[in-house]
Amino acid sequence: MNLRNPFSSKIRTPFDALITMATIAILLIAEGCASIGNPSGGPRDERPPRYVSATPAPGSKDIPVDIEKINITFDELVNVKDAFSKVIVSPPSKSVPRVSSLGRRVTVQFNDSLLPNTTYTIDFADAIEDNNEGNRLENFSYTFSTGPQIDSLRIAGHVLSARALEPMQLKLVGLHRLPDSLYNGTPADTIVPAEHPANYMQSVNAALFSQRFYRVARTDDRGRFSIEGLPAGRYRIYALDDANSDYLFTNPDEEVAFSDVIISPYAEQAVATDSIFDLRLERLDTVVERRRTLFFPNDVILRSFPTARKQQYIQKYERVDSTRLDLIFNAPMAAMPEMTIVGMPDIKGWAIAEHSPGNDTISLWLKSPALVATDTLRLALRYDVLDSVLNYTAKADTLRFTTDRTRLRAAAEKARKELEKKQKKEADKKKHDSEAQQDSAAAPPIALLKVDFISPATQDVNRPVIIETATPLASLDSTAIRLEMKTDTVWNPIARPRLIPDTLNPRRLAIEGPWEYDTQYRVTIDSLAMQGLYGLHNGSISREFTTKAEKAYCSLTMRLSDWPSGLPAFVELLSQQDAPLAIVPLENGVARFLHINPGKYYIRVTEDLNANGKWDSGDPVTGLLPEMAYYYPKAISIKQNWNKDETWQVFATPIDMMKPEILLKNKPTQTKANTRARKPNEDDDEEDF
C-alpha cells in the first residue's frame, strides 16, 4: 500500500511515513499544550473599586445610637490600607472605631454608642484599594444621621507649612463650635463676642488643650481637607499632628495650625453649564444647564508651625574634658539659663559661655584653675519649662559632672604623639643647615594653641575671613596680625585688619574687608600673638587667598509690586535644595542681591513683624499667628556678569500653588510618579533672560 505525504506529492517509504505521522502528532500535542496554558493577559486593570451598596444605605436617618457596625460592599475584592492614619469618623469618639476588610466588603465597627441627633461622616480618603492591582478609590466618604435630618454644610481648604509652604499630609483638621449665645448677631467674621472679655482669645484657644474636636477630617497628599456634615454655626478651625489620636493638642513638640477668624459655613445655589460635543460632526451639539450647590468657605488656608512653647528638658550633658562642660537642651530658650557651681558661691565669672543662637546648645569653658583641677563639679540651673496648660514656670536642676582622668591621660598622650609626628615632619621638610636640623631634632615638641582659618582659598569680596582657635583667648595682640596685598610679585602691607569677635562663639574672630576684586591677599599671625585660656600660645601661621573677579559675579533685583506698604519683610535667595543662601531686607518693595554666583535660584519673602531679621513661629495659647512666607513661583537663572531685574506680583498666584514643584519635599503621589518619569533635562518653569 502506498502512502502519500500530505506535505509532498512524492511517494515515501513506510519508514518515512511513520516519521511524518510522528511529526504531525508532536505538532498537534504542542498546539494542544499551548491552548490550555495561561492566558496572555490583557490591558492592566487601572480602575479603582466601585461602590455597590451599604447597610445602612448612605444618607440614612434616625440610625440607632447603639448601632454596632456598618458594612459597605464594592464590585471587587478590596483592602483597607493605613486605616488608622487615613480613615476618619466624624464627630470623633473616645474609642476609635475599627475598620477592616474581607472580600468585597469594608466594615466599620463602633466601640461606643453614637451621639443622638448627629450627622456622622466616615471619610476613607484613599485608604480603599483593589486587592490585585492596588488601584485606590480616591475621596470616598459615607454619611448617615442618628437624627431626623442630614447636616450638609462643609468647610474645605489646605494645610501648608508656615515657612516652607509644604503641603502637610495626613494632618488632623478639627473644628470647635462656639456657643451662639456669645455673639448677639455680630458679623460672621468677628473674633470677639459682644461682652468683649479681656481674656476671650486665651479662653477660646484653651479649648485646644482640653476639649475634643466637634468635627474632624484629615488632609490628603496635597494638604487638602474637607470637613463635611456640618450644621450652621460658628467655628474655630485647627490642624494638628495628633500622634496619639486624642483629638487634643497635648504634645507641644508637634506642629499646630489655626485660623484667627471665626468661620460660618454656608451654601449657595449656582447654575453650571455643560457642553456636549458631537464627535461625528466635530462641532458643539448641545449646551446643558444644571443647578448645583456650592459650599463655602472652600479656600481656607491653615499655616502649620512648630510652636515656640516646646517641652523643655536637658537632653544631654557631659564633661568633655577637665576644661569644658557641654549641655544640650530639647528646645531653644529666649535667654541663657541661670547657672552656678554648687558649694562655690564666691566664684564669679567662672566660665566663658559658647552657645547656639537659641541657647539650646551650650559649652562652658572653665576659667578658674580650681574648677579645672576638681574632678567632680555640681552645676545648679534654673530655666523655664511648660506646665500642663503650656504656661511657663521655672524649674531647678542640679547636674553632676565628673572628669575621667584615665581617659584624659590617654587622649593627651595620643595628642602629644600626633603633635610630635607633625612637628618632625615639618622639621624634615625644612632645608636648614645640618646644625639647625640637629637642634630642631633635639628640641622637645612644644604644645601650641591650634589656630585654623575657616575660609576658602577663593574668597568672596563680601564675606569675612574667619579665624578659629581651639579654646577661647585670654589675650590677643592685634598688632601681631598683619594683612598684605600682592601687587605684581611684591607683598605690600595694608591697613591693620579689623578683628570682629563672634557674639556667640568666643573662639572665633572675623577679619572684614572691604576686599578688592581679583586680588591676592595674605594674613600673617606672628608667634605669641594669641594666648589661649589655658596658657598655650600660637605658632607663626599665614594664609593666602584670592578674591574673585568682578565679572565672576551676577546680581538680582526683585521688585515686589503688590507688597503692602509699611509691612516689614526680608527676602531670601534659595538654593535648589530650598536652603537660604542670602538674606536682605525689603526696602520700599525692592530687594537687591549683590555679589552672587551664577546659577539657578529661588526666592522667598517673609513678613518680619518684629523686625528681627528672622522667621518667628506662632503661639496657640495667645492666638499669635506665625509670620507668613511666600514663594516666587519660578526658578531664576542668572549667568556670569549679568544684572537681572525682576518684578513679582506676590499675591497673583494662589498660595497653595506658589512653591515651585521641584522644591517640594512632601510631593503628592501623582507628582512623585511624574518626577520619576521626568527626563533628565526637564525642569520646572523658570525665568530666564
Mean pLDDT of 141-154: 95
Q: Could you tell me how many residues make up the chain?
A: 689
pLDDT at 317: 96
- Has residue 199 got a pLDDT over 60? no
Q: pLDDT-based confidence at 478, cuts 50/70/90?
A: very high
Q: Between residues 257 and 14, which one has the greater pLDDT?
A: 257
Q: pLDDT-based confidence at 412, cuts 50/70/90?
A: low
Q: Between residues 516 and 21, which one has the greater pLDDT?
A: 516
Q: Is 23 exposed, middle or buried (0-12, 13-18, 19+ CB in 10 A)?
A: exposed
pLDDT at 205: 65
DSSP state of 550: G
Residue found by looking up cell 518626577 in the block: 675
Distance CA 323, CA 351 (A): 9
pLDDT per residue as tens digits for the range 595-604:
999 999 999 9
Distance CA 316, CA 327 (A): 6
Highest mean pLDDT among 56-65, 249-258, 677-686: 56-65
Q: pLDDT-based confidence at 653, cuts 50/70/90?
A: very high
Which set of grid coordinates corresponds to residue 293?
Answer: 450647590
**H or E element at residue 441:** helix 434-442
| Identity of the residue numbered 190 | T
Q: Between residues 57 and 42, which one has the greater pLDDT?
A: 57
CATH class of 48-149: mainly beta
Mean pLDDT of 317-336: 93
Three-state SS at 305: strand
pLDDT per residue as tens digits for the range 508-526:
999 988 899 999 999 999 9
CATH number, domain 314-403, options 2.60.120, 2.60.40, 2.30.30, 3.40.720: 2.60.40
CA atoms within 13 Å, Cβ hemisphere of 151:
22
Distance CA 94, CA 614 (A): 41
Q: Between residues 681 and 435, which one has the greater pLDDT?
A: 435
Distance CA 357, CA 144 (A): 53
In this predicted structure, which of 197-206, 424-433, 532-541 has the lowest mean pLDDT? 197-206
Residue found by looking up cell 544631654 in the block: 316
Q: Does 506 sit behind a cis peptide bond, omega within 30 degrees of 0 on the bond before it?
A: no
Which set of grid coordinates corresponds to residue 373?
Answer: 583641677
Residue 225, phi then psi, degrees to nearest 5: -145, 160
Q: How many CB atoms are closer than 10 A to CB 235?
A: 20
CATH no., domain 151-306: 2.60.40
CA neighbor of 631 nearest in space, from 551, 558, 682, 542: 558
pLDDT at 95: 87
pLDDT per residue as tens digits for the range 484-494:
999 999 999 98
Q: How many CB atoms are closer than 10 A to CB 51?
A: 15
| Percent of the chain that is helix, strand, coil (3-state, to 5) | 15, 40, 45
Tell me if 447 sits within 8 A of 419, measured CB to CB: yes
pLDDT at 74: 96
CA neighbor of 71 nearest in space, from 35, 26, 103: 103
Mean pLDDT of 202-222: 82
CATH number, domain 553-687, options 2.30.40.10, 1.20.1250.20, 1.10.4080.10, 2.60.40.10: 2.60.40.10
- Has residue 480 got a pLDDT over 80? yes
What residue segments make up the domains of the chain, in order of their start? 1-37, 48-149, 151-306, 314-403, 407-442, 451-550, 553-687
Q: pLDDT-based confidence at 189, cuts 50/70/90?
A: very low
pLDDT at 431: 56
Distance CA 473, CA 512 (A): 19
CA neighbor of 559 nearest in space, from 650, 658, 639: 650
| Identity of the residue numbered 673 | A
Q: Does 660 sit behind a cis peptide bond, omega within 30 degrees of 0 on the bond before it?
A: no
- Within 144-248, residue ranges assigned H as helices are 200-210
Mean pLDDT of 653-659: 95
pLDDT at 680: 37
pLDDT per residue as tens digits for the range 51-106:
999 999 999 999 999 999 999 999 999 999 999 889 999 999 888 899 999 999 99
- Has residue 112 got a pLDDT over 70? yes
Strand pairing of 686-687 and 635-638?
parallel
Domains 314-403 and 553-687 share a fold: yes
Three-state SS at 544: strand
Q: Widest CA span of the chain, in angstroms?
A: 131
Angle between helix 405-429 and 434-442 (nearest 10): 180
- Calculate what percentage of the chain has a pLDDT beyond 90: 64
CATH no., domain 451-550: 2.60.40.3710
DSSP state of 537: B
Residue 92 contacts by C-beta under 8 Å, 6 or more apart in sequence?
Answer: 212, 213, 216, 247
* DSSP secondary structure string for all residues of 376-435: EEEEEEEEEEE-TTS-EEEEEEEEEEE--HHHHHHHHHHHHHHHHHHHHHHHHH----HH
pLDDT at 445: 64
Mean per-residue pLDDT of the chain = 85
Q: How many CB atoms are closer than 10 A to CB 502?
A: 14
Q: Between residues 390 and 548, which one has the greater pLDDT?
A: 548
Q: What is the signed CA dihedral for 36, 38, 44, 46, rounded to 10 degrees?
A: 90
pLDDT at 252: 82
CA neighbor of 271 nearest in space, from 295, 294, 291, 293: 291
C-alpha distances out from residue 435 to 313, 426, 431, 439, 543, Å? 61, 16, 11, 6, 29
pLDDT at 196: 39
Mean pLDDT of 333-350: 87
196 in the Ramachandran plot: left (φ > 0), alpha (ψ -120 to 50) or beta? left
Three-state SS at 369: helix
C-alpha distances out from residue 293 to 119, 125, 215, 266, Å? 19, 22, 21, 10
Distance CA 237, CA 219 (A): 13
Tell me if 662 sits within 8 A of 635, measured CB to CB: yes
Mean pLDDT of 278-304: 82
| Identity of the residue numbered 40 | S
pLDDT at 670: 64
